[in-house]
Amino acid sequence: MIVELTSNPIDVPRLIDHVNKPSNGGICTFLGVVRDNAEGRPVVKLGYEAYESMAVTQMRTIVEEAMQRWNLDAVALSHRTGELQIGEASVVIAVGAPHRAEAFEACRYIIDTLKTRVPIWKKEFFQDGAVWVEPVSSQPSPQ
Amino acid sequence: MARTKPPPSKSPPASPAAISVRVLFFASLADLMGERRRSLRLAAGATIADALRDLSLDVPELAARAPHVSFAVNETFVSADAALSDGDELALIPPVSGG
């Protein structure tokens, strides 16, 4: 398992290599990348802040949940912090599984769950200011 | 050996027992509070809601934000009625937006 926060560009091939095991017939990857607009308003860059120690713990828990639920032997999850430019990957997930269905489902579970309970925040920078993105629908609650 | 009560002259001072917690602020809450962490002294048995009340005396806008804030004590999500202990790390967590 690879679970990490990093302020450097994410090494996607390294994550894929980690889950490319002889027993796996499918690898599903997801990349979240920096979009150049927020509902049409031009975005110049993004910033990510994390409660780092807790974020890593939560990310590890989510990966462990997925590995147990879909009986996986290899998952990699990396999330960026700091400033990112348009097109850079902010999050990368690689899931290896014997068959594709489990790989797709586990990958989807990991990104959807990460967005609801990992303490990481995104700041959108515009030409004329910046805002923290804090959707009330993503308010974590005690498990 | 028989246990004996300490004599009254040796009892602690009359001030109520207090605890000290470290409060962490993130993202928009760090901007609002003007700092990323603060040490807070509270009465023994105080809850997160009590801590919020104290912090809101300094920064009244925090009270309006509280309904959309989640809480973690020592990196575990808890509800606002959770009691705090001396040395706890309390994080105020605005709605998350990772990914």
How would you list the strands of the sheet with A74-80, edge to edge?
Answer: A2-6, A74-80, A89-97, A26-33
Give the position of tokens 């960026």: A80
Please give the model's pTM, rounded to 2 decimal places: 0.91
Q: And the tokens for B60?
A: 């009244």
Inspect the interface and report whether the beta carbons of B91 and A116 lie closer than 8 Å: no
pLDDT score, position A136: 82
* pLDDT per residue of chain B (99 residues) written in tens, 0 to 9: 445 555 555 454 545 689 999 999 999 999 999 999 999 999 999 999 999 999 999 999 999 999 999 999 999 999 999 999 999 999 999 999 999
Inspect the interface and report whether the beta carbons of B68 and A49 lie closer than 8 Å: no
According to DSSP, residue B78 is labeled: E
Q: Is A143 on the interface with B (CB under 8 A)?
A: yes
C-beta atoms surrounding A70 within 10 Å:
19
Asked whether A94 and A110 are in contact (CB, 8 A), the reply is no
Q: What's chain A's average pLDDT?
A: 97
Cα separation, A5 vs B23, whole angstroms: 22
Q: Beta strand A74-80 with A89-97: parallel, antiparallel or unpaired? A: antiparallel
Q: Is A71 on the interface with B (CB under 8 A)?
A: no
pLDDT score, position A18: 98
ipTM of the complex: 0.92
Cα separation, A118 vs B95, whole angstroms: 10
pLDDT score, position A143: 66
Phi-psi category of A54—alpha, beta or left, where left has phi over 0 and alpha has psi -120 to 50?
Answer: alpha
Give the bridge partners for A47, in sequence order: A83, A123
Q: Is A62 on the interface with B (CB under 8 A)?
A: no
| Per-residue pLDDT reduced to its tens digit, A93-102 | 999 999 999 9
Q: Beta strand A74-80 with A2-6: parallel, antiparallel or unpaired? A: parallel
Inspect the interface and report whether the beta carbons of B94 and A121 lie closer than 8 Å: yes
C-beta atoms surrounding B19 within 10 Å:
17
Mean pLDDT, residues A26-47: 97
Q: Where are the alpha helices (DSSP H) in A30-143?
A: 52-69, 100-117
The residue of chain B with its CA nearest to that of A136 is: B95
| Per-residue pLDDT reduced to its tens digit, A44-57 | 999 999 999 999 99
B32 Cα to chain A: minimum distance (Å): 12
| Per-residue pLDDT reduced to its tens digit, A57-80 | 999 999 999 999 999 999 999 999
The residue of chain B with its CA nearest to that of A79 is: B99
| Per-residue pLDDT reduced to its tens digit, A86-122 | 999 999 999 999 999 999 999 999 999 999 999 999 9
Q: Beta strand B89-93 with B18-25: parallel, antiparallel or unpaired? A: parallel
Give the position of tokens 């809480």: B71
Asked whether A122 and A42 are in contact (CB, 8 A), the reply is no
Cα separation, A117 vs A60, whole angstroms: 12
pLDDT score, position A138: 82
Cα separation, A24 vs A100, whole angstroms: 9
